[in-house]
Amino acid sequence: MPSRPITALDAGGDRLAGGEQKLQKIRGQDLGACVESLRSRYGEQGFKILNHAEVYSEGLFNRLWGNKEMEVQYVVLQKPLSFEAEKQKILNITGKTAVPFAELDKKLGAYGELLNSILEKIAPGDGSHPAITKIEGILEKNEFTGGFIKKISQRLKKELPLGDLEDEALVHRTVLDWIGAEIRIKQPPAIARPPRVVVLVGPTGVGKTTTIVKLAAKYRIQENSGDYKPLVRIATVDSFRIAAFEQLEKQADILGFPVHKAETPGDIPQILAMDEGRLDALFIDTIGCSPTDYEGIAAMRSLINIPHITPETYLTVSASTKASDLRMILKNYESFDYKAVIVTKLDETSRPGNIISVLSERNVPVAFVTTGQKPKQIEDPSPITFLRKLADFNIGREYFDDSAPPVPGGT
Ligand SMILES: Nc1nc2c(ncn2[C@@H]2O[C@H](COP(=O)(O)OP(=O)(O)O)[C@@H](O)[C@H]2O)c(=O)[nH]1
Ligand SMILES: [Mg+2]
């Protein structure tokens, strides 16, 4: 039997849309030759043979001589278009002609440069816009904690459009607003029925004794109305240190406040009862105790424990304490159930980021701020009190004007 080339009897229908399968035929010398041909056209899995049979080869002579060949009936299976076919299809639809790769490369090269310069601005090396990197530097200089800085820079990335990041004054104002909103301020509670009882706790040397006298003086000035002179007393549990008691007496004497020692648990209730209900306020100074001195802490708690009265207890911390120490102090004094802190010695720091960061992290509000050794150097703070101390913010001084609207979130 003379060999003849494989013929596709039904050419043109090998790729059917929509999964429709059209029966096709192919002829060859034998079944093996037909399968081989189908494999080369459609791949191993691209066709399915439905039937095969020996048939007479076409042509009169072939019939006369009885020449036969194999005829295979098959369908082409649905398969994804090749990349080239897909591309061609799209080009057919859009009516465009294909761009040669070399040319495409050239075009991309020009755009590529532009794209890179944009990306470099958005994400140079460490992934930040230069304005964000600059702000991070300023926050670091002001000794904000890593966590706080990260929070601010992530907000900048997320919330500020690229165009706004180019405007330095806007970036600085936005960041100051956000820092201000992190600073919580606590107003002293309204006292329904006197006396007002205030207790200061905190480490040694932060300024508790100085501050208790300041608070008493402030209270008297505030409450002085007309002929009425509020009755204010000061008590201290720090009386066994002679020098400490003398220090307090000396300061309180100048202002005319009587000072009392509280040495046993019944002493404070006794001081409160001295004026037969006429006492307006009692300010209690305490001694700094070591966080591991559990006995000392327990003894002090029993000294300041007053039946039926929950005192206003403030934890006193110095503004220049480093972040890790601040966290420890905030934790160690938790058993005194303080509701806010008094930040002392704000005048001694030009980098208040640490205290702002940790108080924000622990969600602790500030009730008062002290700014020097003199009795008047105590303030009802606002977020601005802290923001004003920050270095390197390139912003008009009017931002820090106290008469400006309060910073959102700082209540
Ligand atoms: N610069 C400055 N010094 C302060 C301030 N408050 C207290 N001091 C000083 O800090 C030192 C310790 O204060 P003191 O009241 O004895 O601290 P205490 O051990 O907590 O009672 C004293 O020299 C105070 O004059 C303040 O706001 N600013
Ligand atoms: Mg003291």
Q: Stretch 167-184: mean pLDDT, rounded?
A: 95
204 pocket-lining for ligand 1 (C-beta < 6 Å): yes
Alpha helices for 142-195 (secondary structure H): 146-159, 162-165, 168-182
**pLDDT value of position 150:** 96
Separation CA 344–CA 223 (nearest Å): 23
3-state secondary structure of 375: coil
| 352 HSE (CA, 13 A, CB side) | 25
- Checking if the pLDDT of 14 tops 50, the result is no
CB contact at 8 A, 23 and 50: yes
3-state helix, strand, coil in the chain (%, to 5): 45, 15, 40
Residue 221 Cα to ligand 1 midpoint, Å, equals 22
Residue with tokens 């307090």: 248
CA atoms of 142 and 175, how far apart (whole Å): 13
pLDDT for 73-84, tens place per residue? 988 886 544 444
In terms of phi and psi (left: phi > 0; alpha: psi -120 to 50; beta: otherwise), the region of 157 is alpha
Work out whether the CA dihedral 175, 147, 159, 365 comes out positive or negative. Answer: negative
Ligand 1 site, residue 205, Cβ cutoff 6 A: yes
User: Strand ranges (DSSP E) for 195-311?
Assistant: 196-201, 232-236, 259-261, 281-285
Which of these, 367, 315, 374, 366, lies nearest to 347 by C-alpha position? Answer: 374
Pull the structure tokens for residue 411: 């209540």
Least confident of 9-13, 195-199, 232-236, 292-296: 9-13
Residue 382 Cβ contacting ligand 1 at under 6 Å:
no
Asked if pLDDT for residue 91 goes beyond 90, the answer is no
**What's the pTM value of the predicted model, to 2 decimals?**
0.70
* pLDDT score of 163: 85
Q: Best mutation site among 210, 214, 248, 316 for ligand 1, i.e. most ligand atoms within 8 A of its Cβ?
A: 210
**Band (99; pLDDT cuts 50, 70, 90):** very low
Task: Examine the pLDDT at 126 and tell me if it is beyond 50.
Answer: yes
Q: Which two tokens stand for residue 142?
A: 């002001």
Per-residue pLDDT of 276-312, as tens digits, reads: 989 999 999 998 877 678 888 888 888 888 888 889 9
Ligand 1 geometric centre to CA of 267 (Å): 26
For residue range 31-70, what is the model confidence (pLDDT) as tens digits?
Answer: 999 999 888 888 888 888 999 999 888 877 777 788 889 9
Q: Is the CB of 348 under 6 A from ligand 1?
A: yes
Spatial neighbors of 30 by CB under 8 A, at least 6 apart, are 69, 70
In this structure, the strands spanning 366-370 and 340-344 are: parallel
Domain boundaries, the chain: 7-83, 99-125, 196-381
On whether the 196-381 domain is CATH 3.40.50.300, my answer is yes
195 upstream amide cis, omega within 30 of 0: yes
DSSP string, 31-44: HHHHHHHHHHHH-T
